[in-house]
């Protein structure tokens, strides 16, 4: 894999709640230098300053982050505002309590509430695969995301105590969506080897804060 191709698969991510405007500016400059596919920041850090990143770099933000334990109408309102603030991609957290209880219709309805207010942007659905635990629950979450109109399923927020992306979870997700949706691996991907293992397992996007070191290690 060429470095530029790997870079285009990366959502360069900065979600620390204490992030300052100066740090956002430096982060966007780094993203532009690295040639990543998208930047991902908290919704309160949008809109980005004019010209912060080139037009070919997407602007992603998170919805219902990091717990997913928000009312669906709250997630929808957050999504609507994010799009108005320039987001071209939304990474939303599912209702983890509903998922843990096997209430997949509720999970699907929650995702659909965000899809309905932002039909024109890329929607990535964070299923928190490590928390779900079993392959069957991971597959069920993927089916709910697909039925609700998602464009991607995503492993993790990177903030849940259960952990981040694993090769096993990515493999299950990729097999379930069968190329109809993208698969984003995120959470704990800090070096080149980990990034390439996720891609080999079926990831089509990577959420990384260590983007520079990953690319330099290729």
Q: Per the residue annotation, which of 110, 124, 151, 184 is the catalytic one?
A: 184
Is the separation of the CB atoms in 205 and 174 below 8 Å?
A: no
Residue among 11, 91, 95, 151 flagged as catalytic: 91
Question: Quick check: is 91 catalytic?
Answer: yes
- Give CA–CA dist 99/183, Å, rounded: 19
Could you write out the DSSP letters of every residue in 73-138? Answer: HHHHHHHHHHHHTT-SEEEEE--HHHHHTT-HHHHHHHHHHHHHH-TTSEEEEE--HHHH-SHHHH
154 is catalytic: yes
Catalytic one among 75, 110, 124, 154?
Answer: 154
CA 212, 179, 70, 76 torsion-angle sign: positive
3-state DSSP assignment of residue 147: helix
What is the three-class DSSP state of 165?
A: coil
Q: For this structure, is 11 an active site residue?
A: no
Q: Which residues are catalytic?
A: 91, 154, 184
């Amino acid at each position: 894999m060429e470095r530029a191709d790997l870079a285009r698969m990366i959502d360069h991510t900065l979600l620390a709640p204490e992030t300052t405007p100066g740090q956002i500016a430096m982060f966007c400059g780094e993203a532009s230098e690295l040639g990543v596919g998208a930047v991902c920041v908290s919704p309160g850090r949008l809109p980005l300053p004019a010209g912060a990143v080139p037009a070919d770099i997407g602007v992603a933000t998170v919805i219902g982050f990091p717990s997913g334990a928000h009312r669906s109408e709250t997630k929808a309102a957050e999504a609507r505002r994010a799009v108005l603030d320039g987001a071209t991609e939304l990474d939303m957290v599912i209702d983890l309590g509903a998922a843990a209880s096997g209430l997949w219709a509720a999970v699907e309805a929650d995702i659909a509430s965000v899809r309905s207010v932002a039909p024109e942007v890329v929607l990535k659905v964070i299923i928190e695969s490590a928390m779900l635990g079993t392959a069957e629950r991971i597959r069920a979450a993927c089916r709910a995301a697909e039925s609700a109109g998602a464009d991607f399923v995503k492993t993790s927020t990177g903030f849940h105590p259960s952990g981040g992306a694993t090769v096993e979870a990515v493999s299950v997700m990729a097999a379930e969506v069968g190329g109809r949706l993208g698969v984003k691996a995120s959470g704990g991907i800090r070096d080149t080897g980990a990034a390439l293992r996720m891609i080999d397992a079926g990831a089509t996007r990577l959420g990384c804060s260590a983007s520079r070191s990953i690319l330099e290690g290729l």
